[in-house]
């Protein structure tokens, strides 16, 4: 049987943490996978050195996941096309705003029997509305695309603290293969027949996490945050079931659903920056630069994208939490309205 060769497209905080896991797993399951993994790095200078050179020399992503070694079978590659050459499995893990450019570059260069999985939490805005990222990749590259999403704060997983995740598959054999690629003793993988449900939970929970950060900035307490989590989860389900078909209720009880909402509302970057937004009154864009050292927020952009769709369909009032979060982030609405406008 021909072995699978994995290439990773992305190398941020999560991209690097998950690549460490895959790099160990491909060795452990050497009967199924080739040993070497190429990881595409969006090239930049760090202390006047190319990041790819630093990663390959130190076996560590010194900018996006400092302090954690990458196994020697990972090679950082600045050229996207070179990264995917010979790969039979593509793992997409770039911030969602960059995925289209990546797909445009890869178009026509990927064989139709290549398998792919997206770990990206976000949507793509198209004329017809918000398109799941798995559909964008699938349409551009003409390949089947699964999704992986869960309560997965990257640094905690790099620390090998127990976590769960969810893989959404269309083809159960592929789902099981991906499970072997990602699962470890401390990183437990559930699989479910709901690609879009899994990925859209990951996209929308980032908006709820902005709401949780606003509540934290206002020091409103745990009951208020729990209310935002509960209402947020209901709006996530309503949004997904209004605009997409085949979303399973069961998906919301997997790691990608309720668990990711909770961890993101307590520990994530969106929460942290939204709290600072309330405390400092600085714009999100400025805080992202000041606080995240090149890492990217997904929740503010997704809040705007969700609002554009609900407004276009005259449905803003059906999603009072999402709408209020958008207005606080972009329209100068007072943060205190986070609770006043949703009851
Ligand atoms: P990140 O936010 O840590 O890093 C940003 C990345 O974007 C860097 O690799 C940077 O090189 C790259 N980049 C900057 N400009 C670019 C451009 N023009 N084109 C392409 N790439 C560019 O990245 P991350 O945490 O790996 O996030 C990737 C996805 O994974 C996101 O959708 C995120 O929501 C999701 N995710 C993150 C975590 C986490 O804890 N970090 C956990 C689960 C899922
Ligand atoms: P943040 O991007 O808010 O850090 O969330 C990370 C995440 O997706 C945890 O599952």
Residue 116 host element (H or E): strand 115-118
Ligand nearest to the CA of 271: 2
What residues does 45 pair with on adjacent strands?
50
CA-wise closest residue to 66 among 27, 6, 20: 20
294-327 as b/e: b if 16+ CB within 10 A = ebbbbbbbbbebbbebbeeeebbeebebbbbbbb
User: What would the pLDDT profile of 21-78 be if each residue is shown by its tens digit?
Assistant: 999 999 999 999 999 999 999 999 999 999 999 999 999 999 999 999 999 999 999 9
pLDDT at 22: 99
Q: What's the 292 CA to ligand 2 centre distance in angstroms?
A: 13
pLDDT at 322: 98
Its ipTM equals: 0.99
- Alpha-carbon gap, residue 77 to 63, rounded angstroms: 15
CA-wise closest residue to 8 among 173, 118, 142, 154: 118
pLDDT at 185: 98
User: What would the pLDDT profile of 141-187 be if each residue is shown by its tens digit?
Assistant: 999 999 999 999 999 999 999 999 999 999 999 999 999 999 999 99
- Alpha-carbon gap, residue 171 to 154, rounded angstroms: 27
pLDDT at 340: 86
Residue 216 has pLDDT above 80, yes or no: yes
Q: What's the 27 CA to ligand 1 centre distance in angstroms?
A: 25
Query: For this structure, is 219 an active site residue?
Result: no
Q: What residues line ligand 2, using a CB cutoff of 6 Å?
A: 121, 151-153, 206, 209, 260, 263-264, 268-270, 298
Phi/psi of residue 40, nearest 5 degrees: -75, 130
Torsion angle of the four alpha carbons 150, 155, 160, 165, in this order, in degrees rounded to the nearest 10:
10
- Alpha-carbon gap, residue 142 to 140, rounded angstroms: 6
Question: Taking the model in full, what pTM does it have?
Answer: 0.98
Nearest CA to ligand 1 atom 31: 95
What is the DSSP secondary structure assignment for residue 62, as one 8-state letter? Answer: T
Q: What residues line ligand 1, using a CB cutoff of 6 Å?
A: 10-15, 42, 64, 93-96, 98, 119-122, 152-154, 294-296, 298
Ligand 2: which of 118, 156, 206, 293 to mutate, judged by most atoms within 8 Å of the beta carbon?
206
Nearest CA to ligand 2 atom 7: 153
pLDDT at 128: 82
Residue 209 has pLDDT above 90, yes or no: yes
User: What would the pLDDT profile of 223-274 be if each residue is shown by its tens digit?
Assistant: 999 999 999 999 999 999 999 999 999 999 999 999 999 999 999 999 999 9
- Alpha-carbon gap, residue 7 to 37, rounded angstroms: 6
Q: Which of 107, 205, 272, 311 is an active site residue?
A: 205
Ligand nearest to the CA of 255: 2
Average of pLDDT values for 288-294?
98
Annotated binding residue at 211?
A: no
Q: What's the 50 CA to ligand 1 centre distance in angstroms?
A: 18
Hey, what are 229's tokens? 């989590």
Pairing of strands 187-192, 129-132: unpaired
pLDDT at 341: 80
Annotated binding residue at 144?
A: no
């Amino acid at each position: 049987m021909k072995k699978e060769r994995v290439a990773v497209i992305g190398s941020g905080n999560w991209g690097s943490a998950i690549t460490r896991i895959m790099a160990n797993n491909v060795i452990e399951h050497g009967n199924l996978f080739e040993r070497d993994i190429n990881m595409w790095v969006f090239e930049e200078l760090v202390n006047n050195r190319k990041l790819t050179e630093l990663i390959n020399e130190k076996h560590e992503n010194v900018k996006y996941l400092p302090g954690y070694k990458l196994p020697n079978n990972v090679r950082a590659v600045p050229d996207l096309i070179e990264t995917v050459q010979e790969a039979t499995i593509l793992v997409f893990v770039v911030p969602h705003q960059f995925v289209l450019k990546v797909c445009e570059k890869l178009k026509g260069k990927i064989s139709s029997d290549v398998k792919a999985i997206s770990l990206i939490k976000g949507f793509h805005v198209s004329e017809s509305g918000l398109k799941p990222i798995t559909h964008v990749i699938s349409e551009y590259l003409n390949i089947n695309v699964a999704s992986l999403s869960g309560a997965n704060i990257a640094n905690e997983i790099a620390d090998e603290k127990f976590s769960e995740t969810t893989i959404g598959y269309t083809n159960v054999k592929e789902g099981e293969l991906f499970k072997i690629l990602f699962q470890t003793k401390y990183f437990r993988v559930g699989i479910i027949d709901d690609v879009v449900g899994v990925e859209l939970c990951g996209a929308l929970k980032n908006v709820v996490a902005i709401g949780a950060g606003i509540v934290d900035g206002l020091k409103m307490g745990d009951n208020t945050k729990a209310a935002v989590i509960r209402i947020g989860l209901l709006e996530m389900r309503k949004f997904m079931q209004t605009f997409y078909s085949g979303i399973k209720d069961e998906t919301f009880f997997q790691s990608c659903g309720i668990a990711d909402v909770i961890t993101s509302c307590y520990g994530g970057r969106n929460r942290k920056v939204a709290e600072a937004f309330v405390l400092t009154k600085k714009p999100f864009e400025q805080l992202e630069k000041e606080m995240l050292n090149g890492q990217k927020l997904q929740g503010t952009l997704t809040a705007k994208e969700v609002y554009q769709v609900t407004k276009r369909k005259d449905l803003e009032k059906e999603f009072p939490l999402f709408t209020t979060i958008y207005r606080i982030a972009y329209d100068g609405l007072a943060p205190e309205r986070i609770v006043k406008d949703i009851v």
